[in-house]
Amino acid sequence: MSIGLLQGIFKRIANVLQRIIDGGHVFEGTLAWEGTQTALQLTRRVTNEGVVYSRQPCVVVKGDMDPGPS
C-alpha cells in the first residue's frame, strides 16, 4: 500500500472524526470523546507528518506524503 493511498484514507478518517466531534455526537469528558480526540490526533499526525506507526514499535513507515501528479 502506497504512502499516498494511506494519506488519503487517514484524511477521510480525520474528516469523519471531526464531524463526530463538531456535531456533538460525543460529549467532552466522556470516554467516547477522549477516544475520538486521540484517534483524530493520530490521523492528523499521519497526514501532517507522513508517519504511520503500527502496534509493533519496531515497524515504522515514513515517506513522502505527496502522492505525485494525478
- When divided into structural domains, the chain yields a total of 1
Q: Are 33 and 3 in contact (CB under 8 A)?
A: no
Longest dimension (CA), the chain: 43
Determine, yes or no, domain membership for 12.
yes
pLDDT band (50, 70, 90) for residue 60: very low
Determine, yes or no, domain membership for 69.
no
Considering the chain, what is the average pLDDT of its residues? 76
Determine, yes or no, domain membership for 68.
no
pLDDT tens digits, one per residue of 9-25: 888 999 999 999 999 99
Domain that holds residue 51: 3-62
Higher pLDDT, 51 or 63: 51
pLDDT band (50, 70, 90) for residue 66: very low
